[in-house]
């Protein structure tokens, strides 16, 4: 009764990810990103991402097999992200996964990308097991979601999500208006290090009492982006210099404050003293710092998987596939497609 050897494919956004796990042990995690091709557009262009996946997918599979030191015909099952994400991008991964499943005669598991982010936690090297239920906060360029995870493979509830821009997208857009390169998150982080986070009080979206009935766990960042743009314009119109560090630090503080206020409210409301973070924005220095501070103050256990597993990758999809198999779930068959709005 050995643990299943699973190959996972992730193509929901701009990362072509192929990972291989045995049960909850990571064997390979190959990522090919088309980020640079999107840089001059200031955001991910769906058509460009899909074409890049098509070029990268077969080499990524070969590289993962080599990295894991296995033969393709040893694989017990294939797992693939079927949504949510960019349609054309998802289709490349789903097509490749179906082809592999048929060619190898092994079962195929369709996996939800957001749940995959949570599943990444089982691959931690310290072997500590994730305690359930947990609240999970997933923040990237494509999503900002709060989940209540009671069971990794069968009971994940979406508590809230962004109603406009994703948090990472807000970082990218504000970076752009400050003249910083794409992707903006790391640059905002760098510039913010020299700034005063209390210099400018930018709005905290959906945190007013009137918003909390309908949007207690939802996020909104487009108003913040507009507020930053207006503030910068006013300075420029007045012929004053824009204090980049203060703007970046104050903007970052507004995003991070809202993310953690809502995540901790979810933990409190549901009586769950555990918070898991995932997604590329977790690379943000202030996110990690404030998460540590606020969870400690609230008596909440904080889990942050290694960053290479927080950003989009195939290993987390493989890991979730392995969890599905070990929990006795039936494979998905071939009768599913890419679903850009797949619910959790």
Query: Distance (Å, rounded) from C-alpha 186 to C-alpha 97?
Result: 33
Selection from Zn ion, ligand KG4, none that 332 binds (CB < 5 to 8 A by kind) is none
Q: Shortest approach of ligand KG4 to residue 131 CB, angstroms?
A: 24
Q: Is 140 annotated as a binding residue?
A: yes
- Single out the residue of 264, 312, 321, 324 in contact with ligand KG4 (rule: CB under 6 A): 312
Choose between 247 and 259: whose C-beta lies nearer to Zn ion: 259
Q: Is 185 annotated as a binding residue?
A: yes
**In degrees, to the nearest 5, what angle opens at C-alpha 29 toward C-alphas 24 and 35?**
135
Choose between 4 and 160: whose C-beta lies nearer to Zn ion: 160
* Contact status: 183 vs ligand KG4 (CB under 6 A): yes
- Single out the residue of 121, 165, 172, 246 in contact with ligand KG4 (rule: CB under 6 A): 172
DSSP letter (8 states) at residue 216: T
Q: Are 146 and 137 in contact (CB under 8 A)?
A: yes
Query: Distance (Å, rounded) from C-alpha 223 to C-alpha 229?
Result: 10
Q: Is 117 annotated as a binding residue?
A: yes
| Strand blocks (E) in 61-178 | 77-83, 108-112, 134-139, 144-151, 155-161
* Contact status: 311 vs ligand KG4 (CB under 6 A): yes
* Contact status: 246 vs ligand KG4 (CB under 6 A): no
Q: How would you list the strands of the sheet with 77-83, edge to edge?
A: 25-33, 15-22, 5-10, 77-83, 108-112
* Contact status: 312 vs Zn ion (CB under 5 A): yes
Query: Distance (Å, rounded) from C-alpha 334 to C-alpha 299?
Result: 45
Binding-site string for Zn ion from residue 135 to residue 174, where x marks contact by CB under 5 A and - marks none: -----x----------------------------------
Q: Is 194 annotated as a binding residue?
A: no
Query: Distance (Å, rounded) from C-alpha 89 to C-alpha 11?
Result: 6
Q: Shortest approach of Zn ion to residue 335 CB, angstroms?
A: 25
* Contact status: 186 vs ligand KG4 (CB under 6 A): yes
Token pair of 51 as six digits: 């074409």
Burial string for 202-218 (b: 16+ CB within 10 Å, else e) reads bbbbbbeeeeeeebbbb
- Binding region for ligand KG4 (CB under 6 A): 13, 140-142, 168-169, 171-172, 183-186, 189, 279-281, 283-284, 311-312
Binding-site residues from annotation: 113, 117, 138-142, 172, 185, 189, 284, 312
Residues within the interface to Zn ion (CB under 5 A): 140, 312
């Amino acid at each position: 009764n050995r643990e299943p050897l699973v190959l996972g494919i992730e193509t929901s956004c701009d990362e072509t990810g192929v990972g291989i796990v045995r049960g909850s042990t990571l064997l390979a995690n190959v990522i090919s990103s088309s980020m640079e091709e999107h840089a001059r557009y200031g955001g991910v262009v769906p058509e460009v991402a899909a074409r890049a996946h098509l070029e990268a997918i077969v080499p990524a599979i070969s590289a993962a097999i080599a990295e894991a030191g296995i033969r393709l015909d040893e694989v017990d099952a294939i797992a693939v992200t079927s949504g949510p994400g960019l349609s054309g991008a998802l289709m490349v991964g789903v097509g490749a996964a179906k082809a592999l499943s048929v060619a190898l005669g092994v079962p195929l598991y369709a996996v939800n990308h957001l749940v995959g982010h949570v599943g990444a936690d089982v691959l931690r090297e310290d072997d500590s097991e994730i305690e359930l239920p947990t609240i999970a906060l997933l923040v990237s360029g494509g999503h900002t979601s709060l989940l209540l995870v009671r069971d990794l493979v069968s009971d994940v509830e979406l508590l809230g999500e962004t109603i406009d821009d994703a948090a990472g997208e807000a970082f990218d857009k504000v970076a752009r208006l400050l003249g910083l390169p794409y992707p903006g998150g790391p640059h905002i982080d760098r510039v913010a290090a020299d700034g005063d986070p209390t210099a400018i009080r930018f709005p905290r979206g959906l945190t007013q009492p009137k918003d909390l009935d309908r949007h207690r766990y939802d996020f909104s960042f487009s108003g913040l982006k507009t507020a930053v743009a207006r503030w910068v314009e006013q300075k420029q119109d007045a012929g004053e210099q824009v204090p980049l560090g203060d703007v970046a630090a104050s903007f970052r503080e507004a995003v991070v404050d809202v993310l953690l206020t809502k995540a901790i409210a979810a933990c409190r409301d549901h009586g769950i003293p555990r918070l898991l973070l995932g997604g590329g924005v977790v690379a943000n220095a202030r996110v990690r710092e404030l998460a540590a501070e606020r969870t400690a103050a609230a008596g909440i256990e904080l889990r942050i998987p290694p960053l290479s597993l927080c950003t989009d990758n195939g290993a987390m999809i493989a890991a979730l596939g392995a969890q599905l198999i070990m929990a006795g779930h039936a494979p998905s068959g071939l009768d599913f497609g890419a679903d850009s709005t797949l619910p959790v």
